[in-house]
Structure 1
Amino acid sequence: MKIAFTGKGGSGKSTLAALFVGHLRATGQRVLAIDADVNVHLAPLLGVVAGAETALSHPDNVRRVRSHLLGSNPRVAGVEHFVATTPPGPGSHLVTLDETDPVLAGHATRLDDAAHVLHVGTYEAKDIGSGCYHGHLAILENLLSHVSLQAEDWVVCDMVAGTDAFANSLHAQFDVIVVVAEPTPESLSVARRYRELAEAAGVGDVVAVVGNKVADDTDRDYLARELGGEPLATLTNQAGLRRARQSGVPPRPADLDDDGALTAIAAHARGREMSGERRDALMRTLHLRMAQKGWVRSAHGDVSTQLAEV
């Protein structure tokens, strides 16, 4: 199961993602947590120091990861011909959640035998005036399209805020996308727009909205009215969680008054894995769109040949 958390900046998406990772660990699941937010909040919330040298988007790490994923795939001429939507092919190496997996062993921080954390990275001083975070996310897109999960495995990703996932293939890479929404006009406008874009992209059924920082019944009624229905779950303002954060301690499900929202998200997600055929069709469309871009053709040639013939 691949699940992502997004929403307006400040909605609590990173904290909810960290709590959900804690919930999965407590229930015995194998988890790969990925911090893909430019602000790099999830990793520290899980107690991980996220440095530039260990970021997935560090050029040396990009090359190492892509070299591993490439394997002996004859459809890709070399790591320099990987684009964000390059699919696995014959001879490709897939990433697993086994702690001996080369990508996890070489690039992830181990929390325990069953839980690891990766972080994509953020802007560095050298990127000022010339960097784009979407370029950093290409290696994440590669990893997600080459991951192989067992039945009780989870990838939990804290995504970029807002609707940036529609600028690349991330909206098509997850089985469930949780949009975290506060009971404010600004936060709910992001949630509604996210659902609209997801429908247009053919993944409307993947999106679920969770209300956060809900104070009272007025807030609940406001969420339901503005969303056109009840959210999947709601979390109230949590004093215990706030005290934990103020003391600098990573948040835990035990800091919540109850973990009903976390349980509801897990229950909603189970059984909603996207079929391989549907995922392949979505990614094929996005790859062909990528292949038509002038800069891609100039830098990489005709990458449409990376697809299997149909």
Structure 2
Amino acid sequence: MKIAVTGKGGVGKTTLAGVLAKLYAEEGYRVLAVDADPDANLAIALEFPRDKLDKIMPLSEMRELIAERTGAQPGLMGQMFTLNPKVEDVPERFCVEHGGVRLLVMGGIKKGGSGCACPEHAFLRAIMRHLLLENKDVLIVDMEAGIEHLGRATADAVDVFIVVVEPGLKSINTYHSIRKLAADIGINQVLVVGNKVKDREDEKFIKSNVEVEKLLGIINYDPRIAEAERDGLSPLFAGEKIRQAVAAIKNKIDKHFG
């Protein structure tokens, strides 16, 4: 199963992706979690200890490896480089494991060439394609915020897009944009999780703007989750409510895909 978690920035994508990965691992699945958000925080959501956090290097920062595989120096424009570099060995070589979850951090391109033709982008895109086409177990990708990644069609092999929304029109509009662009690249399984729901009015707002058959579940607002994030801790430190809410969402995913 290949799951991509996306949505507007700040809605709680990483919280959902991290807890979901933990739950699948606890059931004995071989889980690969991919942090494809330039603002990488998935390792914290997965409860990685400090010694392992310190070992993680985003792939986008591996300049020598990128140069070796693409034939061009990162950060320099106007070069010739291969668009399909060899990446088959990269996931196993550079993922870090904890608690039954293997983690691969893609990183972001924060200088010239972001989102366009450059060696770094070709390298990361090739890795994502390889993961989506070759992974045989559970792959959970914490995507970058927004919809730009769909324009690049880097996730056209996922089984399902889960869009996290919060009670707000901007978040809902992002969901509808993602659904439309996903359909353009052949992804029709676009489901929704409502997050940061404080009361019945919030829940009613989400349900009135999302098709009932698309809604996987609701995660209620819990200030302890925000406190955990502030302190650099996993959302699981907030208690059992978040685990129970995501477990119910996971059960719906499992039923949905048999």
For residues 267 and 144 of structure 1, do their structure 2 counterparts lie closer, same or farther at Cα, with a shift above 3 Å needed?
A: farther
2:141 to 149, 157, 161: 157
User: What is the CA RMSD across the aligned residues, in angstroms?
Assistant: 3.1
Per-residue CA deviations over 1:161-184 (Å, capped at 9, x if unaligned) read 111122212231311111000011
Match of 1:191 in 2: 175
Task: After TM superposition, give the deviation of residue 227 of structure 1 in Å.
Answer: 1.8
Distance in 2 separating the partners of 1:63 and 1:270: 41
Q: How does 1:109-124 map to 2 (within 5 A)?
A: 109-112=96-99, 114-123=100-109
Distance in 2 separating the partners of 1:197 and 1:144: 18
2:160 to 167, 176, 191: 176
Per-residue CA deviations over 1:32-54 (Å, capped at 9, x if unaligned) read 11111111121333335378x82
Task: After TM superposition, give the deviation of residue 228 of structure 1 in Å.
Answer: 3.7
Distance in 2 separating the partners of 1:37 and 1:249: 18
TM normalised by structure 1 equals 0.66
Per-residue CA deviations over 1:135-183 (Å, capped at 9, x if unaligned) read 5454343224334334xx2111110111112221223131111100001
Match of 2:114 in 1: 132
Distance in 2 separating the partners of 1:10 and 1:254: 18
Match of 1:81 in 2: 82
Q: Does residue 1:55 correspond to 2:58, yes or no?
A: yes
Per-residue CA deviations over 1:37-92 (Å, capped at 9, x if unaligned) read 111121333335378x822223333356779xxxxxxxxxxxx4334xx8xxxxx8
The answer to whether the 8 A contact 2:38-2:144 is kept is yes
Opposite residue 22 of structure 1, the aligned amino acid is K
Task: After TM superposition, give the deviation of residue 15 of structure 1 in Å.
Answer: 1.5
Q: Does residue 1:10 correspond to 2:26, yes or no?
A: no
Distance in 1 separating the partners of 2:17 and 2:227: 18
Q: How does 1:2-41 map to 2 (within 5 A)?
A: 2-41=2-41
Partner of 1:177, secondary structure, is strand
Unaligned runs of at least 5 residues, structure 2:
72-80
Per-residue CA deviations over 1:184-228 (Å, capped at 9, x if unaligned) read 111111011111222233312x21110000111111111111124
The answer to whether the 8 A contact 1:141-1:169 is kept is no
Partner of 2:28, secondary structure, is coil
For residues 272 and 117 of structure 1, do their structure 2 counterparts lie closer, same or farther at Cα, with a shift above 3 Å needed?
A: same
Per-residue CA deviations over 1:222-245 (Å, capped at 9, x if unaligned) read 111112436211100124433433
TM normalised by structure 2 equals 0.78
For residues 262 and 137 of structure 1, do their structure 2 counterparts lie closer, same or farther at Cα, with a shift above 3 Å needed?
A: farther
Opposite residue 40 of structure 1, the aligned amino acid is A
Larger radius of gyration: 1
Number of paired residues?
Answer: 239
Distance in 1 separating the partners of 2:237 and 2:69: 33
For residues 197 and 117 of structure 1, do their structure 2 counterparts lie closer, same or farther at Cα, with a shift above 3 Å needed?
A: same
For residues 138 and 242 of structure 1, do their structure 2 counterparts lie closer, same or farther at Cα, with a shift above 3 Å needed?
A: same
Distance in 2 separating the partners of 1:50 and 1:119: 12
Opposite residue 234 of structure 1, the aligned amino acid is I
The answer to whether the 8 A contact 2:147-2:178 is kept is yes
Unaligned runs of at least 5 residues, structure 1:
68-79, 87-91, 95-101, 274-310
Partner of 1:29, secondary structure, is coil
Match of 2:236 in 1: 252
Moved more, 237-246 or 186-195: 237-246
For residues 202 and 149 of structure 1, do their structure 2 counterparts lie closer, same or farther at Cα, with a shift above 3 Å needed?
A: closer
How high is the sequence identity, in percent, across the aligned residues? 29
